[in-house]
Amino acid sequence: MVRVKICGLTREEDVAEAVKAGADAVGFISGFPESPRNLSLSRVAQLMGAVPPFVDRVLVTTTDLVGRQTGEVSRMRPDALQLYGRDSDARSLRKKLGVKLIRPHLIGTGEDAVANIASFDALLSDTYVQGRSGGTGRTSDWVACRELRDRIAPVPFILSGGLNPDNVAAAVVRVRPFAVDASSGVEASPGIKDGAKVRAFVKLAAGAL
């Protein structure tokens, strides 16, 4: 069964909705001031405190922020970091924090996704848009994603980029990822989740294979 992460959560009620829907992981963003889903680390800690056992808590952030706030991130006790920045910094932080690391990769940049992949626990794809680190809401090239999934195996591949209840089942069948990740595709407005979309997304993703 494909695992599901609901990302960009900003409210307790949205965390509760994602958990009730059966999400395997929930994501919180910090360190990206331009994002409407960006939160302070203290707010992330509050929301993570509302996540029950057996649901993974993922902090989506940068190597720079974690390097400056290592103590605060450690006290937060995330299950994984989705970490944007230099791979060398990521490896150092992994040793300090003892958490799993997810490496983001933008499809279409020409960057070598396989380099240093052994230092990470999973790779998450997204769609390249100039000047953006990710979270664009644009659908990825699923053929390229499937090829990348095969190249990095057995490292788990997480598919994101423009996923929503209308296309997630087809994406799972085409790419066969370890997990899928949605944010804007399950929202009523930027940063505010739509409960019906969250429930539909989880159900359709989990039942696609």
Q: State whether residue 155 is helix, strand or coil.
A: coil
Q: Which of 14, 24, 126, 181 is catalytic?
A: 126
CB 5 within 8 A of CB 26: yes
Spacing of C-alpha 100 from chain mean position: 13
Catalytic position from the list 7, 14, 145, 181: 7
Verify whether residue 141 is a known catalytic residue.
no
Contacts for 48 with CB less than 8 Å, ≥ 6 apart? 28, 57, 76, 77, 78
Classify each residue of 136-162 as buried b or exposed e, where b means 16 or more C-beta atoms within 10 Å of its C-beta.
bbeebebeebbebbeebeebbbbbbbb
The amino acid present at 21, given as its one-letter code, is A
Instruction: Assess whether 87 carries a catalytic annotation.
Output: no
AA identity, residue 43: R
| Phi, psi of 181, rounded to the nearest 5 degrees | -135, 130
**Active-site amino acid positions:** 7, 126
